[in-house]
Amino acid sequence: MLSADNIANMRQDGIVGPAPASVLPKVGAEQIREAVRQMLREIPECASEQEAASEVLDLVRSYRALETGAPATKSDGLRWGLLRLDSALHPLLRRAAAVAACALVAADDRTLRDGLDEVRAALRDRSPQTSSKQ
Per residue in 46-57, pLDDT (tens digit) is 999 999 999 999
User: 54: how many CB neighbours lie within 10 A of its CB?
Assistant: 18
93 falls within a domain: yes
Query: What does the pLDDT average to over 49-66?
Result: 97
Spell out the alpha helix ranges (H) of 14-106. 20-23, 29-40, 49-68, 74-84, 90-100
Task: Work out how many domains the chain is built from and give that number.
Answer: 1
131 falls within a domain: no
Q: Say what the alpha-carbon torsion angle 28, 32, 37, 42 is, to the nearest 10 degrees.
A: 150
Q: What is the largest CA-CA distance in the chain?
A: 48
Q: Is the pTM of this model over 0.95?
A: no
133 falls within a domain: no
134 falls within a domain: no
31 falls within a domain: yes
Q: What pLDDT, on a 0 to 100 scale, did the predictor assign at position 134?
A: 36
Cα–Cα distance, 119 to 111 (Å, whole number): 12
For 7-42, the pLDDT digits (tens) are: 888 778 766 677 777 888 999 999 999 999 999 999
Beta carbons of 49 and 105 less than 8 angstroms apart: yes
Which domain range does residue 87 map to? 4-126
Cα–Cα distance, 89 to 53 (Å, whole number): 13
